[in-house]
């Protein structure tokens, strides 16, 4: 009996030591702490399902840039100084800031731009290399054309669409090209407008009015998400049906959105953290793409705009806000 018990003693001690360790997770967001409540809760839920509970075996240090990308380097440096065991970063600018701040702490990116390889975040989807892995925003650039096509389906009579984007956001050149390709196939004219800060919103909407835009496509980023309520109000005052690349602005009053399910992405990100805390190297974990997409339509906004959304489109919606 003694010979059987002796080998298990070190194992029991090691297990006890591992159980006593509290890991520190750094969470770096480009948007605001309030705008990401649903996603962070999905992330925490994913961790709980894997046995990681805040206050017991993990601590999460949250840092939010509130849509101001210039704050990201300092926030990333703060997390590095805290000696976190892993950094979770969303979307691409926070992931890039984290990568610039450390080459050793593992980084799990969530919702990174459509091509994280092109952005220099990883070497390849299958073998990221380095200290970055995680989940991308889409399966390819065609998602942006699909957003425009759905807007045309919702408002068949539109001829001119304004496209609002933030040039300070992740590189969107290929996304914009995809939107142009879709516009040609749909017979639409495009008006591209830039907004680097909320101070430029009024000027952008004034330009839309001058050019008689019939609808609006917003290439949503963290800054736009922080100010999504104001964007929705401006679109309503301008009588512009607006579509977005995620559901948050639609919940704030926008007309519709099409994109990956954020709750699904954030829950899946917990799996990466789990593997890394258990010893996996981020460079060996393939970057995953979204598998669940959602179409969200705000019928209350449609009615306020005097729009009748085609039943065929409503039937494909994953959620209808009334």
Task: Record the pTM.
Answer: 0.87
- CATH 3.40.50.2300 is the classification of domain 20-138+261-291: yes
Give me the count of residues in the chain.
322
Let me know if domain 142-260+294-321 sits in CATH 3.40.50.2300. Answer: yes
So what's the pLDDT on residue 36?
58
- CA separation for the pair 159, 265 (Å, rounded): 34
Reported confidence tier of residue 114, pLDDT bands at 50, 70, 90: low
Read off the pLDDT of residues 255-291 as tens digits, 9 standing for 90 and up: 999 999 999 999 999 999 999 999 999 999 999 999 9
Strands 319-321 and 293-298, by their bridges, are parallel
pLDDT at position 204 is: 98
How far does Cα 246 stand from its chain's mean position?
8
Asked whether the CA dihedral 238, 166, 260, 102 is positive or negative, the reply is negative
Specify the domain boundaries for CATH 3.40.50.2300 within the chain: 20-138+261-291, 142-260+294-321
Tokens of 293: 């997409």
CB 59 within 8 A of CB 25: yes
- Say if residue 152 is exposed, middle or buried (CB neighbours under 10 Å; 0-12, 13-18, 19+): buried
Residues 228 and 248: beta-carbon distance below 8 Å: yes
Q: How many alpha carbons fall within 13 Å on the CB side of residue 260?
A: 25
**Contact indicator for 86, 111 with CB cutoff of 8 Å:** no
* Burial profile 37-49: b = 16 or more Cβ within 10 angstroms, e = fewer: eebbebbbebbee
Give 35's pLDDT tier (boundaries 50, 70, 90). Answer: low
User: Using CA atoms, how far apart are residues 99 and 103, in angstroms rounded to an integer?
Assistant: 6
**Run of H or E residues at 24:** strand 23-29
DSSP labels for 281-296? -GGGSPPB----EEEE
Average pLDDT over residues 233-256: 95
Reported confidence tier of residue 116, pLDDT bands at 50, 70, 90:
confident
Question: What is the percent of the chain where pLDDT is above 90?
Answer: 76
Paired strand residues for 207: none
- CA 59-34-80 angle, to 5 degrees, is 40
Confidence class for position 2, pLDDT limits 50, 70, 90: very low
Question: 257: closest CA among 171, 198, 317, 315?
Answer: 317
Alpha carbon of residue 127 to chain centroid: 22
Question: Is residue 25 predicted with pLDDT exceeding 80?
Answer: yes
Distance from C-alpha of 277 to C-alpha of 271, rounded to nearest angstrom: 10
């Amino acid at each position: 009996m003694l010979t059987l018990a002796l080998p298990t003693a070190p194992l029991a001690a090691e297990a006890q030591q591992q159980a006593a360790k509290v890991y520190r997770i750094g969470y770096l967001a480009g948007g605001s702490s309030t705008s990401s409540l649903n996603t962070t809760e999905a992330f925490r839920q994913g961790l709980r399902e894997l046995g990681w509970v805040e206050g017991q075996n993990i601590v999460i240090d949250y840092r939010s840039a509130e849509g101001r990308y210039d704050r990201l380097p300092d926030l990333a440096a703060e997390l590095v100084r805290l000696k976190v065991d892993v950094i979770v970063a969303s979307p691409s600018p926070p992931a890039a800031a984290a990568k610039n701040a450390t080459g050793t702490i593992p980084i799990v990116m969530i919702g990174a731009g459509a091509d994280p390889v092109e952005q220099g975040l990883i070497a390849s989807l299958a073998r990221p290399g380095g200290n970055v892995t995680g989940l991308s925003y889409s399966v390819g650039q065609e998602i942006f054309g699909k957003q425009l096509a759905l807007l045309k389906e919702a408002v068949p009579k539109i001829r001119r669409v304004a496209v609002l984007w933030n040039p300070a956001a992740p590189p969107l050149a290929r996304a914009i090209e995809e939107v142009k390709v879709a516009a040609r196939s749909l017979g639409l004219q495009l008006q591209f407008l830039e907004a680097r800060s909320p101070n430029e919103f009024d000027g952008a909407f004034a330009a839309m009015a001058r050019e008689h835009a019939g609808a609006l496509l917003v290439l949503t980023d963290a800054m736009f998400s922080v100010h999504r309520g104001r964007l929705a109000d401006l679109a309503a005052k301008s009588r512009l049906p607006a579509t977005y690349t995620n559901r948050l602005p639609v919940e704030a009053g926008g007309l519709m959105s099409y994109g990956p399910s954020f709750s699904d992405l954030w829950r899946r990100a917990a799996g990466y953290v789990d593997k890394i805390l258990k010893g996996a190297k981020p460079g060996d974990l393939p970057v995953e793409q979204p598998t669940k997409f959602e179409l969200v339509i705000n019928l209350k906004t449609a009615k306020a705009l005097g729009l009748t959304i085609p039943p065929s489109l409503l039937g494909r919606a994953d959620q209808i806000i009334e």
